[in-house]
Structure 1
Amino acid sequence: MPKFMSEEWLNLYEDALNKNEAYAKAASWWTGDFIFIVRASGNLNHDIMGYIGLTHGKCTGVKPISSEDEFEVVKPDVSASSPDKVAVEYTYEASHDTWIQIIKGELDPIRGLLSGKAKIQGEMAKVLKATDAAKELVRTASLIDTEFY
């Protein structure tokens, strides 16, 4: 069973997203890559992060991220300041314990933002228009047999 946000888990997530017709439909208009940030809490004693490429209802790639120096949040169609950095439009950040609640369906990802349990960097108005896509991102993650820390 892969650990949450490991390379193996991310690859399974990419495959599952690309097979999810409900996600493809809900996110058909979406462009904007994410870094999912999992902050240390509970049994996790270090932060973990993963890049998720998302364009027009498809996952275009995934990658474990070792440090916040590896990415930069940018406006749409803007490159990162360094070729060594991954350019993303969004980060979604929550504690490990909150991520577990989200993946298990105990906390809606948008409610997580509105309650302050999660934070987002990027254009919030666009994210709020994509609630169905966000729910499918979470539902897809819940289908993966995951070992949490």
Structure 2
Amino acid sequence: MPKFPSKEWLDEAVRLTNADPECAIAGKGWKGDFGAIIEAEKGKLDTSFVVHVEPGDCDIKRARVLSDPDDLEELEPVYLARAPYSVWKQLLLGTLDPVEAVLKRASPCGGTCSPSSNACATRASRTASSPR
């Protein structure tokens, strides 16, 4: 399994999402790009990991790693999630509920999130991931 976070992990998460028929149904009508910032944490992640995702027709058309959070902010994605590495790790392991994370302000989220799309993306990310 690819190491989280990495370009290889992102590629595998996209592959699994695009191959899952339930994700195609959940993603129908998804409009707007998505950005995620996995913030660096001392002793856990040396530098922030930044991802930009563009939807296709019921799939992910393009996903890329950006070199800096400022690069993502310049793109002004419709949806943006930002949290420290440890919060993302808990989300992917299923030990922290995404809604709970937002309510506790552990994971600030911008835009309007669709629960079915989030569940699908979370499932694919968990499958692709082996957080350390």
When normalised by structure 1's length, the TM-score is 0.78
What is aligned with 2:82? 93
- In structure 2, the residue corresponding to 1:143 is in which secondary structure? helix
Provide the rounded CA distance (Å) in 2 between the counterparts of 1:90 and 1:7.
Answer: 20
Provide the rounded CA distance (Å) in 2 between the counterparts of 1:137 and 1:29.
Answer: 15
1:18-29 correspondence to structure 2 within 5 Å = 18-29=18-29
Query: Alpha-carbon deviation of 1:30?
Result: 1.2
Provide the rounded CA distance (Å) in 2 between the counterparts of 1:37 and 1:103.
Answer: 14
Sequence identity percentage: 24
Report the AA paired with residue 69 of structure 1: D
1:3-42 correspondence to structure 2 within 5 Å = 3-41=3-41, 42=43
Tell me which of the two structures has the higher relative contact order, counting C-alpha pairs closer than 8 angstroms and 6 or more residues apart. 2
- Number of residue pairs the alignment of both structures matches: 131
Report the AA paired with residue 103 of structure 2: L
Structure in which a larger fraction of residues adopt helix? 2
Query: Alpha-carbon deviation of 1:147?
Result: 4.6
Residue 89 to residue 145, structure 1, CA distance change in 2 (3 Å): closer
Q: Is the 8 A contact 1:109 1:135 kept in 2?
A: no
Bigger Cα Rg: 1
Query: Alpha-carbon deviation of 1:136?
Result: 1.1
Q: Is the 8 A contact 1:5 1:49 kept in 2?
A: no
What is aligned with 1:52? 53
Q: Which runs of 4+ in 1 moved over 2 A?
A: 54-57, 145-148
Q: Which of 122, 125, 128 does residue 138 from structure 1 map onto?
A: 122
Report the AA paired with residue 61 of structure 2: T
Q: Is the 8 A contact 2:4 2:129 kept in 1?
A: no
- In structure 2, the residue corresponding to 1:35 is in which secondary structure? strand
Query: Alpha-carbon deviation of 1:87?
Result: 4.7
Provide the rounded CA distance (Å) in 2 between the counterparts of 1:31 and 1:139.
Answer: 20
Which digits, 9 at most, give the CA deviation of each residue in 1:80-107, with x for residues without a partner?
Answer: xxxxx54521211111111011001111
Provide the rounded CA distance (Å) in 1 between the counterparts of 2:102 and 2:56.
Answer: 22
Where structure 2 has 5 or more consecutive residues not aligned to the other structure, the ranges are: none
